[in-house]
Structure 1
Amino acid sequence: MRAPLLFAPSIPLTANYARPMIRGCFPSNPGSPEGAMKRFACALVLLLASVTNLQAQAPFYQGKTIRIIVGNLAGDAYDLWARIFAQHMGKYIPGNPTFIVQNMTGAGGVVAANYVYTVAKPDGLTLGTFGPSMYFDQLARRPEVQFDWAKFTWIGNPEQTEFILIMRTDNPYQSIEDVRKAAQPPKCGATGTSTSGYYMPKFLDEGLGIRFNIVTGYPGGGEIDLGIERGELHCRNLTISTYFAREPFLTWHKKGFVRPILQTGKKKRSSSPRRSVHL
């Protein structure tokens, strides 16, 4: 799975400008964080080059500001990635533009995607980052969708990660089999129908008959976490990289407040409990 993705309104690449940039896009240490950032920066430069006046003496982006529209609350994983980009990307682009992050929450990122597609101009000054499964809502023909997923210009993603389903330990649902046998399904929180918090439990429900009560409408991941702490939710699906990298999940895991009961991916993570199911 890839998350998050960085998009721009669809604009064509200018090949004549991009060609000399390609030589610098192959770092000597491609596996390092610096190499990954350089490759990503090159992809962004090649995209943004399409709006540059080739004959201009000053770089197009000199003195300009590029916005990154984030469909999540401040502090969520996608927001943190966007702020890392904003801190470092300007120095890799001719003209050294300023980057700012603008949070635009709603419907699990659909509000942000609609804005980037229908409102933002295709001038290279607006980017968007939202979930890679957003096209599910378009395929389902949900009325709130105003974008055509195929017409976004895809730039890249900072990581490839899988998903993990966590459950509070102070309830009867200690394993997937417990959920399958339960008379009342556990409540899992999600921000919207295009997020993994929704479609992973939905897949288990409709595909395997393992029922979940999915509660949507939370503004962000932090609100879902509070819902779990307050006891109004039993479970949440999120990326493995988020769960094993930051709070409150590190403390939850250490204290045994939650238990992973399922994870996706080609290989089961060694730190996941033995009773968790690997898909």
Structure 2
Amino acid sequence: MVQRNVLKGLFFLGICLFSPLTLSPVLAQEPFYKGKTVTIVVGTKAGDVYDLYARLMAQHMPKYIPGNPNIIVQNMPGAASLITANHVNNVAKPDGLTIGAIYNALYFDQLIGRTEVKFDWSKFGWIGSPVTSNHLLYMRADSPYKTMDDVRKASEPPKCGATGTTSTAYWVPKLLEDVIGTKFNVVMGYQAGQDIDLAVERGEVVCRAFTITAFFAREPFHTWRKNAFVRVIFQTGKKRDPKLPDAPTIHELMNRYKATEGGRRLATLSLAAGDFGRPYVVPPGTPADRLKILREAFAKVVNSPDAKGDAEKKKLQIDPTSGEELETLAKEVISQPPETVQRMKKMLGKK
């Protein structure tokens, strides 16, 4: 009788040990992202190129994330995406369910000590960027400013539109003022790039600086180029973009006008924004395993033939930078000597 009871006990124990209900929680646990919704918060209006890239990611990333979550896009425009960056840093939970699509030059505001900045650029979790961002400056073709020489010699500076101090539309003209001696009247306060383009059409302003990618990606620029409505007079790449063979680079202009060593250092720091491209970040403190999942999914998207095909249809370039590279760059740009920071403060009008 005792032996029979012992055998029954061992049999019951064996069932318990190998039952799916009593397997190790690690082995039985479902993927974290299963049944979840991930939100990409974009610091621009819908239809902006930042928004177009985010929607491309939202379409293709879910299949590369274990658990296949739903991904949605939320637009939060304003202050050159500073509002979005502050939201991601301070409001969003660090749980891997909120991704920020933010402007690449927000580190300027942190470096010069603007009180509106409520984040540390170097502490975001960096997922990656789908494209690097060289920039251009266009002028209305009917304006008197045909070249940078015209801008330098003008008695009345051209009026350009901008959203905020870390938008390309602001800092590129200000960088040119510092390193080659031009003068621009930069009008602030536009909510998004599309608003500046409408202002150009209305004649409120005559110029805007922004990315080469955007200039060749959407309207109104297709129509503008066809009708020769604007002229590109400058670009930031180390060499001329094949699509802009007549626009000189900033390096050509710095050589022509004999920029100082301090000006060149400021240019190097500022142009690093182009290396950040159109970055995706998660809040500081996001678990490392979830950041790793998002980085791996991002890498698969930007190397996916399907995603590349969709990007090509939308005229969006894919020239990615990994999250690991952006993390390193973020730490580098924040660690600057006082004299370079002081020069950036002057460039951005910070006393």
In structure 2, relative to structure 1, the CA distance for the partners of 1:110 and 1:74 (3 Å cut) is same
TM-fit CA distance, 1:55? 4.7
2:57 is matched with: 85
TM-fit CA distance, 1:54? 4.6
1:160 is matched with: 132
TM-score in terms of structure 1 length: 0.78
Report the 3-state secondary structure (helix = DSSP H, G, I; strand = E; otherwise coil) of the residue aligned with 1:247. Answer: coil
Letter in 2 for 1:263: Q
CA contact under 8 A between 1:201 and 1:212: conserved in structure 2? yes
Root-mean-square deviation over aligned CA pairs = 1.3
2:35 is equivalent to residue 63 of structure 1: yes
2:214 is matched with: 242
**1:201-227, Cα deviation, whole Å (9 max, x unpaired):** 010112221001111111111101101
TM-fit CA distance, 1:132? 1.6
Unaligned runs of 5+ in 2: 1-24, 251-351
Q: Distance in 1 between matches of 2:196 and 2:115?
A: 25
2:180 is equivalent to residue 225 of structure 1: no
2:15 is matched with: none
Max Rg structure: 2
1:140 is matched with: 112
1:99 is matched with: 71
CA contact under 8 A between 1:83 and 1:101: conserved in structure 2? yes
Report the 3-state secondary structure (helix = DSSP H, G, I; strand = E; otherwise coil) of the residue aligned with 2:217. Answer: coil
Q: Distance in 2 between matches of 1:54 and 1:218?
A: 51
1:194 is matched with: 166
- Bigger helix fraction: 2
Which of 120, 123, 147 is matched with 1:151 structurally?
A: 123
TM-fit CA distance, 1:238? 1.1
Which of 244, 249, 259 is matched with 1:278 structurally?
A: 249
Letter in 2 for 1:66: V
Query: What is the number of residues matched between the two proteins?
Result: 226
* Greater RCO, 1 or 2 (C-alpha within 8 Å, sep 6+): 2
CA contact under 8 A between 1:179 and 1:211: conserved in structure 2? yes
CA contact under 8 A between 1:179 and 1:185: conserved in structure 2? yes
TM-score in terms of structure 2 length: 0.63
CA contact under 8 A between 1:259 and 1:273: conserved in structure 2? no
Report the 3-state secondary structure (helix = DSSP H, G, I; strand = E; otherwise coil) of the residue aligned with 1:277. Answer: coil
Which of 76, 82, 89 is matched with 1:110 structurally?
A: 82
**1:28-64, Cα deviation, whole Å (9 max, x unpaired):** xxxxxxxxxxxxxxxxxxxxxxxxx855522111110
List, as ranges, runs of 4+ consecutive aligned residues in structure 1 with deviation greater than 6 Å.
none
2:307 is matched with: none
